[in-house]
Amino acid sequence: MTTHRAHSWGSRATTSVFRGWLIGMAGFLSACTSSGAGDDQGYDCKTPPTDVAACTVDADCTVVTGGCFCGAQPVTGVSQARAAGAQACETASANMCALGCANEPGYRAQDGNHADSSSMILVRCSPSTSTCTTYVP
């Protein structure tokens, strides 16, 4: 008779990486509530507004740089109207980040491509989804 074990996460290294990710996300979620006066209409980092990346034309979009991350720094497209709140959340998450993983030089756009400088990443309004997305030309 063959006995099967329940699926495990595998090695201790994998478990440590996952535990680090969970700790980092907990820090991100607890540190990321912007609700003071003068913020982006009560932007809540735990539950970002559904229109955070909504757009009609490219001019509606701008970028936000990730605050707590592994690898290359993510650059995300957001609507101009929600940019201040989104960046405040990312800044707060950077201050509380505890992922314990390596960062890499450079930046990563939403299309998965990398750039040496954040200025090399552009943002556009995707006509098929009406959302702001970043890309490397």
Flag whether pLDDT at 19 surpasses 60. no
Token pair in block for residue 129: 């989804």
Q: What is the mean pLDDT of the chain?
A: 77
- Under the banding of pLDDT at 50, 70 and 90, the label for residue 16 is very low
Residue type, 102: A
Segment 56-73 shows an average pLDDT of 95
Name the region of 28 (left: φ>0; alpha: ψ -120 to 50; beta: rest): alpha
Q: What is the pLDDT of residues 76-127, one digit of tens each?
A: 999 999 999 999 999 999 998 988 899 999 999 999 999 999 999 999 999 9
